Each structure stands twice: as structure tokens, then as C-alpha cells.
Structure 1
Amino acid sequence: MVTFVPTAPGRLADVPSFVRGIGGAESNVACALAASGHRAKWVGRVGADGFGEHLVAAIGSYGVDTSAVQRDPDRPTGIYFRTAGERATGTAGEEPDRAEVIYYRAGSAASAMSPSTMRYEDLFSGRILHLSGITAALSADCLSLMRTLTTRFPGRPLVSFDVNYRVNLWHDAADPRVLLDLARGADIVFVGEDEAEAAWGVRGSAAIREVLPEPEVLVVKRGERGAVAYARRAATFPTPPHPEPRAPLPEPRTSNAAGAEFPAPQARPDTVTDEPAPRVDVVAPVGAGDAFAAGFLSATLRELSARERLRHGHLMAAATLTVAADLAVPPARAYADRLVALDARAWGTLRLGPGWTATAEQHPQGRQDPQEVRIP
């Protein structure tokens, strides 16, 4: 989508003007991964209009492959307006300090995504396929596509799924519990504790794991308290396979509510890794969840340890938290690796503020003690 962000604080009703940007959970992740040195492809649909042209150009400027993006001549590019605060997860009116977000995406080009309009050669061309629960709320066709892509079958890439519950998108007869259904078919799942409670009525990371036993990896985000990862493999986290010829897409499943299509996971104890987040001087919280997923997936592609994957997620989130936009320049890989390697005491004293990612350029030899990265 094209995002319109106000030029001044206040209610949308009072804001005099807006600045155009780009938005979208999956494209945010793709841009962050490309900026971190990975090959990333964004697969989607935009309108054959100026906003669609802007989106494709802006995403491509990060180094993302946009060759698979489809232009729809009959449907417009989606747009949305938001204030600067955090996106709400509760019922409208219950969280006055959260952002106002208004979506204009019904009937958009993206809402026409379906198993028949998207090519599996594009979707399965990488080692990881990253999906977002936002897509499932756009239309029945989008939900069908998501059900197809979260169906387990031989030869699919590692499927990553970020729940991304947005209360504004789930209304009328739409049931956000479908997000739980989709998450059960993924290999790596990201969900916030607040999201799980708001969407499913499940409270606490251990309880979330109980209702999501199928994914090999479950990452529960806990805001300032950090994140905890549950892995079904005792020795290591799963690593994504290398691309190979794929079979045609399976027929989309209709529901997993009864559990018939997902046999119970083998009786293997979880490896539980709880990693605190560094202290961050927050400028704006929007986009931090997408950045965390990008950092975690970047470390997954590099086959790093569970602790390192979580710390890279925290650092990428910190880069976004300390800027006003949805996307930020990530820290240089060598500098991020140096911070990730800190011992528990040093990591616990780390404080990051606006401009902290530039430290790597200012100190290319890494001479500055990372414990002293406390930029106000």
C-alpha cells in the first residue's frame, strides 16, 4: 500500500497535510532483508496507476526483485492513512494512545490475489517464503491463497508467518481465529503476546505455544521485555532448504480447526530461548515487528543460533524504533554481529537511540565499545 503519514501530531481529523510513503508488512521485510545483503523478491499486485508505479519503484530502490509484481488494470492500489502512534490491537476506543489507522483497500489490486492469479514459480523461488496475516483479511481469494501456501507438502520452502493482527481489518463476520489456523501450517511463526490475547483470547507465551504446537519455531514477541523462541529441535533451529523444482500448488485446505490435517508433532521437548531486548529510545513504534522478523530471518538464512537470531531481530527492530519511518537503514552486518556477540551483562546494559546504526560507519574498525552506544 501507499502510506500517508501526517506532517504534525494530532488526530487525523485535525492533521492539515500528509507525506506519502510505502507500507506493507511483507514489503517491509523484503526491503530490510535486501538492505542487509540478502536476495529478496516481493510478489504482489498493484494497480496500473501512479501509486502502484511509486510502490514498485520505491521497493525496488532497496534492492528488492520486483519482477514478479503484477499490475491490475481494473483495480486500484491500496492506500492507508495513519497517525504516528503504535497500531492498535484491541477494540476501537479501548486504546486511546494508539494510532488511528484508516485503510482504503477494499477492492484493491492486492485483494485479487488468489491461487489462480499468483505463480508458484515466483512464490517458491527462494529459501524462505514470508507471509503475513494481514493478507488473509483482504478478501476470500486472499484467504484461499494463504490457506494454500500454509498447506504442508513436499518441496515447499521454509514458510514464515507473521500473525500481524490488525483489528481494523477484522470486522463483520470475519473471524481472526483464522490466523491461528494459518499459523499452524507454517514452519516459523511470529506473534506478539498482545496480538494472541486480542485475537484468540490466549495469554502468555507458554499458553500460545500450547495452542500452536505444530510450527518448528514459534517466536513470541513481548515488547520491551524481549522475545522468547520455542523450537522443536533440541540441537538447532531449522534452516531453509535451497530452491529446487516444485510440484504444482496443492488444493487449498478449508480449515484446520479439528486438527485432522496436522498430526500432533513428535514428542520432542522444546528448546526455549528467552532473550531480552536492549533499551531503546523510541521515536516511533510502527514497523518494528516487521523489522524484528527481518532480523530473525536474516540470521536464519545465515544458520545462526537461537540466541543470535533473537538478538539480530532485536537490533533490526531497534533500527526502526529509532526513526520516524516504517523502514530504517539496518546496522552493518559486522557491527550487528559484534553487538550480538556481547555477553549477557554487556547486552543488558546496551542502550540504543537515534543515529545508532551510523556508529558502524563512524567506527569501521569497531573501536568503540558497544556498551557505550547510548545515543540520546
Structure 2
Amino acid sequence: MKQVLDVITIGEAMAMFVAQNTGELHQVDRFIKRVAGAELNVAIGLARLGLNVSWVSRVGTDSFGQFVLDSLQQEGINREGVTMDERYPTGFQLKSKAENGTDPIVEYFRKGSAASHLSREDFTLSHFARARHLHLSGVAAGLSDSAYALLDHAASEMKREGKTISFDPNLRPVLWRSESEMREKLNRLACKADWVLPGLKEGSILTGERTPEGIAEFYLSRGVKAVIIKTGADGAWYQSQDGERGAVAALKVENVVDTVGAGDGFAVGVISALLEGKTLPQAVTRGNKIGSLAIQVQGDSEGLPTREALGEA
């Protein structure tokens, strides 16, 4: 009997080489190999909290691809939806070691990657329908026209199946032909979701609104059930179709090590809590907590906690 899934997500994973000393990337001579990818970070975080998660993608038949597969197995993530593609390589990236909480420099080598060739052929209803929730992000949406078509189709089919959907815009303007195309296509995906999780700046770019309330109203008026907006050092703002709204303060972090992955950690907290039936304020509180844990260690997913480490009652 096939495993029942809690969450299914679609995205690209890359091998990531993290600098072990500060300075310009071309001067660094020591790196640690990790796995990276926004949607994979979320999958890892949810799996560590005990949810059954499937990650759908393509990787090359190369050492990086095998490294990704090994990482999935180590984290207990279902990989039935992963295709080994003999034609195209697995992408990789270099990441600098940042100081004083500044954002690291990241250089991507992903053009023409196996994951950029994701398409509607990678959607199998029998596999997706085993999950009760679909999580999508704007990173995978921007990989290629065919990858976007897959996400759009998956959202429509899962909605038809009565599943819940979350969407994190995760803006990567460099992946898009224009800002207007990015805005139009990502808003189309967002409006198919139940829960939309933009950052304040992202929400402003996508909606033209400047306030959390304005951004929330934009999506709620288009059928989204809840909008949770990351407001940086202030924490997060939430608003629901039912009229529930409010702010949840951020947790103070004394030593910020690596800011990459904070938004993915926030998504892990919100999605896991809502799937457990917790209230929206409780979900946002967990999102803030996991986001704060993610930025205290080097690496995109290394700070994502197990259920025990989360320490909730």
C-alpha cells in the first residue's frame, strides 16, 4: 500500500558549496558541500517535524544528483516523484560566509539544469492525490515556461481534488524575462492558493500595495483564505478571510549567522501548524520561531528543528 502523504512540493535542488572563511568567493579555498533549494528546505523542515513529505523534481545522473537523492533519503523524504534525467545536469551554487548578519553572496550555476526541464509530464495525479497539501514557491515557477506550466497544472488539479495549497512568492527576478511577467504569473499561482506567504517587499512588488493590510486585502479579495506577511525585524502580519488579523512580534536573535533560509523556515512553521489544526496566530508564532532558528547556523536547512528541538508543549 502506498504511503499517505501530508505534503507534496515541487522544486529544484542544487549542490551548495558554502565558504568556510570570509572574503571574496574567488579567494576562498575551503568549502563544505550542502544541499540547497527553497522548496527542498521546506520539505526537509516539514519532514523533521514528523510529516510525510514528497518532493517532486528532476536531477541529473551525476554526482550532484546522487548527492541530492542521498540527502532526501537521509531526511526521510519520499522521492517517488524525482526523475533522474540523463540529458541535463544537476545545478550547483557557491555561497560566501557572511559576517555580522549580512546577506551572503550566492552565485548560481543552474542554467539548463535538469530541474529547469520540469514539465506537466512530471505530474501524476495518483501520486499528488495521496497528499493532503501542496506547497509551491516562485523559485520553481521561474525556472522555465514548462516548469511554470507544471506548477499551474498541479495547483488546479489539487484544488479540484479538495486539497489545501500554500504559496511562497520567493521572488527571484533574475529568473524572469520581465517584472510584469513575474507579477502576472506569480499572482495567478497565488490566487489558486489557500495560504499566501509573501515578504512585505515581495507583496508590494506583486500587488502595488505598501502596507500589510493592503497586500492581504489584494489576495483575500481574490479568494485566498489567509495571507501571512513576513515583516522583517517586526515579525509577521496575518489576515484571514474570516476577518481575523494581527501582528506577531519577531523573536530576538543575538547572533545572526546566515539569513538564507529564514523565509523557508517561516513557511515550515506556518504550514505544519495549520495542517495540525492550530490557530493562525499560533501558526505565525511557530513560523517566527523556526525562522529565528534557521538564521542562527550556517547553511540553508541546518537550523531547521526536529519536533523535540522545537520544544512546543
Normalised TM-score (structure 1)? 0.72
Bigger relative contact order, structure 1 or 2, given CA contacts below 8 A and separation 6+? 2
Shift of 1:122: 2.3
Shift of 1:217: 1.2
SS in 2 for 1:326: coil
1:337 corresponds in structure 2 to 312
1:303 corresponds in structure 2 to 277
Shift of 1:133: 0.6
C-alpha separation in 2, matches of 1:182 and 1:290 = 18
SS in 2 for 1:228: strand
1:50 corresponds in structure 2 to 63
C-alpha separation in 2, matches of 1:195 and 1:75 = 31
C-alpha separation in 2, matches of 1:154 and 1:74 = 33
Which sections of structure 2, spanning at least 5 residues, go unmatched? 1-13
1:113 corresponds in structure 2 to 118
2:10 corresponds in structure 1 to none
Alignment of 1:97-246 (within 5 A): 98-151=103-156, 153-171=159-177, 175-177=181-183, 178-198=185-205, 201-213=208-220, 214-233=223-242
* Larger fraction in helix: 2
Contact 1:220–1:228 (8 Å) recurs in 2: yes
Contact 2:19–2:95 (8 Å) recurs in 1: yes
Are positions 1:276 and 2:285 aligned together? no
Shift of 1:334: 8.4
Contact 1:85–1:286 (8 Å) recurs in 2: no
Contact 2:20–2:97 (8 Å) recurs in 1: no
Normalised TM-score (structure 2)? 0.86
* Change in 2 beyond 3 A, CA 1:19/1:286: same
1:321 corresponds in structure 2 to 295
Aligned AA (1:127): R
Please tell me the root mean square deviation across aligned C-alpha atoms, in Å: 2.1
Contact 1:284–1:325 (8 Å) recurs in 2: yes
Contact 1:43–1:122 (8 Å) recurs in 2: no
* Larger fraction in strand: 2
Shift of 1:302: 1.1
* Change in 2 beyond 3 A, CA 1:334/1:26: closer
* 1:242-288 CA distance string (max 9 Å, x none): xxxxxxxxxxxxxxxxxxxxxxxxxxxx2113211111122211111
C-alpha separation in 2, matches of 1:54 and 1:221 = 32
* Change in 2 beyond 3 A, CA 1:205/1:172: closer
Larger mean Cα displacement after TM superposition, 205-214 or 150-159: 150-159
Q: 1:6 aligns with which of 19, 32, 52?
A: 19
Aligned AA (1:293): A
How many residues align structurally?
A: 292
Task: State the identity as a percent.
Answer: 32
C-alpha separation in 1, matches of 2:219 and 2:258 = 30
Contact 1:130–1:161 (8 Å) recurs in 2: yes
